[in-house]
Amino acid sequence: MGAAIAGWVQGMATAGVGAVVGFLAAGRVGAAVGGALSGVVAIPFGRAVARGQPYQGPGGLRRCIVDATWSALNTWAGALFYGILRLRGNPLDVDRTRGRGSIWLVHGVVPRYATTIGMVKAGSNERIDRHEEVHVLQARLLGPLYLPLVAINYVIATLVPYWLLFSDRASYSVDSVAAYFERGVYPHVWHELWAYRVSRRHSS
Ligand SMILES: [Zn+2]
């Protein structure tokens, strides 16, 4: 589909979600503020979609429609993520973005890990991309439910370490606060269990 149109559609979706989120938080004034602030990140994000052409090729139109409608909350979160990382000098990987259904930023946020929000991936590479692609798919499948379900699970896994009962418990030690999150909480939230299961199956 037309790259410029796709960029315009995703930019409009981003500004529109910002207005809705603002309205829910603070009525009409919130809608104006949320729409305007989201409009600021919608412009570079829309340009990234137009330049990178993630929706090129088979299935692209369908993904573009899903990202602007059912998954628009994830697109909005991804656009905010994209804007912040671009301001910090993280470049768009145009070659990897084209036709992949997601937007690639060259550098990661956390050392040794890639981070994916909505359809925006920071620091992915061909070795770990199957894992990150699961998160892109999860967002499209669950739409507006995805981020709340992820957030709820992080809170529960932090407060109630149910993961101590998992069968992989013997393979790692929790000897620091960092280990509590990196080995305990993080790999045992539902969307990471799913993504690691898929990536392990394909790597072994
Ligand atoms: Zn993950």
Q: Express each pLDDT in 52-62 by its tens digit.
A: 999 999 999 99
* pLDDT of 147 above 80: yes
Region 153-178: mean pLDDT is 92
* pLDDT of 78 above 60: yes
What is the reported pLDDT for 1?
61
What is the reported pLDDT for 204?
47
Region 46-69: mean pLDDT is 97
Region 64-84: mean pLDDT is 98
Region 18-32: mean pLDDT is 97
Report the C-alpha dihedral over residues 30, 33, 36, 41, rounded to 10 degrees.
-90
Ligand 1 centroid to Cα of residue 58, in Å, is: 26
Ligand 1 centroid to Cα of residue 199, in Å, is: 10
pTM: 0.94
Region 154-175: mean pLDDT is 92
| Distance between CA atoms of residues 123 and 97, nearest Å | 12
Do the beta carbons of residue 119 and residue 133 sit within 8 Å? no
Please name which of 135, 137, 145, 108 lies closest in space to residue 191, comparing C-alpha atoms: 135
| Distance between CA atoms of residues 104 and 131, nearest Å | 14
Ligand 1 centroid to Cα of residue 27, in Å, is: 35
Tell me how crowded residue 179 is: count the other CB atoms within 10 A of its CB.
13
Region 167-189: mean pLDDT is 92
**Which residues are within 5 Å of ligand 1 (an ion), measured at CB?**
192, 195
* pLDDT of 203 above 60: no
Gyration radius of the chain's alpha carbons: 18
Do the beta carbons of residue 85 and residue 109 sit within 8 Å? yes
Region 164-170: mean pLDDT is 88
